[in-house]
Amino acid sequence: QVKLQQSGAELVKPGASVKLSCKTSGYTFSTSYMSWFKQIPGQSIEWIGMIYAGDGGTGYNQKFKGKATLTVDTSSSTAYMDLSSLTTEDSAVYFCARRSHHWFAYWGQGTLVTVSS
């Protein structure tokens, strides 16, 4: 079965960077699209961007350009998201989700990132 396992919670200082992971199994990762989302607790969900594992091609929400960088490692079927120059406004739960056509049937469990000094 399809599984997306995200890395554990992070506590990071302002100005630092963090790299989140999303390890997949149960499907052909190398021909799939992975999206990342941000959800501040109590708020709606924002789409950060998407990466095609086949060639590493990416598309970003303009709001997150310069903030998030998406990469993949096809040898381990893992997607990554780097978040840079973190501020308290980046404190949120981040989800990875596999895109199927124009919807998202499979999601990771989420990674809580807390930015605090």
Instruction: Out of 1, 44, 75, 117, point to the residue binding other proteins (CB under 8 A).
Output: 44
Residues 1-40, mask of contacts with other proteins (x by CB under 8 A): ----------------------------------x-----
| Closer by beta carbon to other proteins, 54 or else 110 | 110
In sign, the C-alpha dihedral spanning 23, 92, 99, 103 is positive
20 φψ region: left (φ > 0), alpha (ψ -120 to 50), beta (else): beta
33 vs 80, beta carbon nearer other proteins: 33
Q: Any contact of residue 105 with other proteins (CB under 8 A)? A: yes
Q: Which of residues 53-72 bind other proteins (CB under 8 A)?
A: 59, 61-63
User: Judged by CB under 8 A, which of 77, 79, 80, 108 binds other proteins?
Assistant: 108
Strand locations in 7-73 (E): 10-12, 18-25, 33-39, 45-52, 58-60, 68-73
Q: CA-to-CA distance for 47 and 36, rounded, in angstroms?
A: 6
